[in-house]
Amino acid sequence: MYRRGVSSRTRKLVIGGAAAALLGSALAVGTGMSQAAEQGNAGATSGSINALVPALGFSPGDPNATADRVGPTGVNVPGRCPPTQAEVNAQVALKNANLPSGTDLESRIQRFERTLSAIQDLKCPASSTTLLGRLNSLTALRGNADRDTILRGLGLNETPADRAAAAGSDDAAASGATGNASSDDINALVPALGFSPGDPNATADRVGPTGVNVPGRCPPTQDQVNAQVALKNANLPSGTDLESRIQRFEKTLSAIQDLKCPASSTTLLGRLNSLTALRGNADRDTILRGLDLNETPAG
């Protein structure tokens, strides 16, 4: 009996000691995880986060606004949206101890996806930025055999949609055209469509650059649009003033519709909206002075 009692007490002591050891281990692991998370977040909020979070592509909203405004994708968004880039960067850092910094396709996609998540955390829709359309142009590369070659020519957070828009602006600026356009310089004056051409044989829809479905055959090629603009416009304004810029976008959108494709198969409408929004802006001349021929505040 005595031995049994000792054995029983011993077992209790052993079990109690093991439980204490397990508890101590759990506390140590928990503390370590907490410290690691803090260190990870500290790293994410360093200067590198600003380089890794994609630009929103549209001017910040007025935090005091109560009415909607037209966003960069052509639909109404809350007037307070999007947040500032600094606010979005901070939210991305808060939720991501580590943000992929690679230039490979999946790293690029993750940066855009996490930034869009931060936008939604801050109570703003994706349509208050150009992120979704640019993300779509990246995800479309997943099945593309030439994706590595396409990506090799892109900057850290640049996308094929960004490059297409930039190429259109560079070509236009290089032309140095003034006055009205003729058939010779129409290619320089028509804004870039901002999205890869559709498959003319497609019968199914695909997701367009504004995040909505568009016919798979849309948009037309840039050459087709340029030819349609030239066909309908003997003269196309080539000035860098606000109204000349607006007219070029409007006439290009008209050509897109003539070719039986919706505006949402391009990024033109959002970029046009960022120009028309300047009509009441006292600083519009200063803002425009820093832009290339067909460049807009939205891109």
pLDDT score at 155: 87
What is the rounded distance in angstroms from the CA atom of residue 146 to the CA atom of residue 228? Answer: 30
What is the rounded distance in angstroms from the CA atom of residue 242 to the CA atom of residue 135? Answer: 29
Question: How many Cα atoms sit within 13 Å of 211 on the Cβ side?
Answer: 15
Q: What is the pLDDT of residues 3-18, one digit of tens each?
A: 444 455 545 444 454 4
Q: Determine the residue type at 147.
A: R
- What's the average model confidence in pLDDT over 169-179? 43
What is the rounded distance in angstroms from the CA atom of residue 232 to the CA atom of residue 211? Answer: 29
Q: What is the pLDDT of residues 106-152, one digit of tens each?
A: 999 999 999 999 999 999 999 898 898 888 888 888 888 888 888 98
Sign of CA dihedral 216, 160, 82, 96: positive
Helix (H, G, I), strand (E, B) or coil at 44: helix
Please determine, for residue 163, whether its predicted confidence score (pLDDT) is greater than 60.
yes
13 exposure class (CB count in 10 Å sphere: 0-12, 13-18, 19+): exposed
pLDDT score at 251: 94
What is the rounded distance in angstroms from the CA atom of residue 101 to the CA atom of residue 166? Answer: 23
- Asked if 111 and 52 touch (Cβ cutoff 8 Å), the reply is yes
- What's the average model confidence in pLDDT over 213-235? 91
Would the pTM count as exceeding 0.85? no
Average pLDDT, the chain: 79
113 exposure class (CB count in 10 Å sphere: 0-12, 13-18, 19+): middle
Strand pairing partners for 205? 215
Tokens for 49, please give them. 């986060």
What is the rounded distance in angstroms from the CA atom of residue 154 to the CA atom of residue 54? Answer: 13
Close Cβ partners of 121 (under 8 Å, ≥ 6 residues apart): 91, 95
Report which DSSP code applies to 3.
H
What is the rounded distance in angstroms from the CA atom of residue 119 to the CA atom of residue 93? Answer: 12
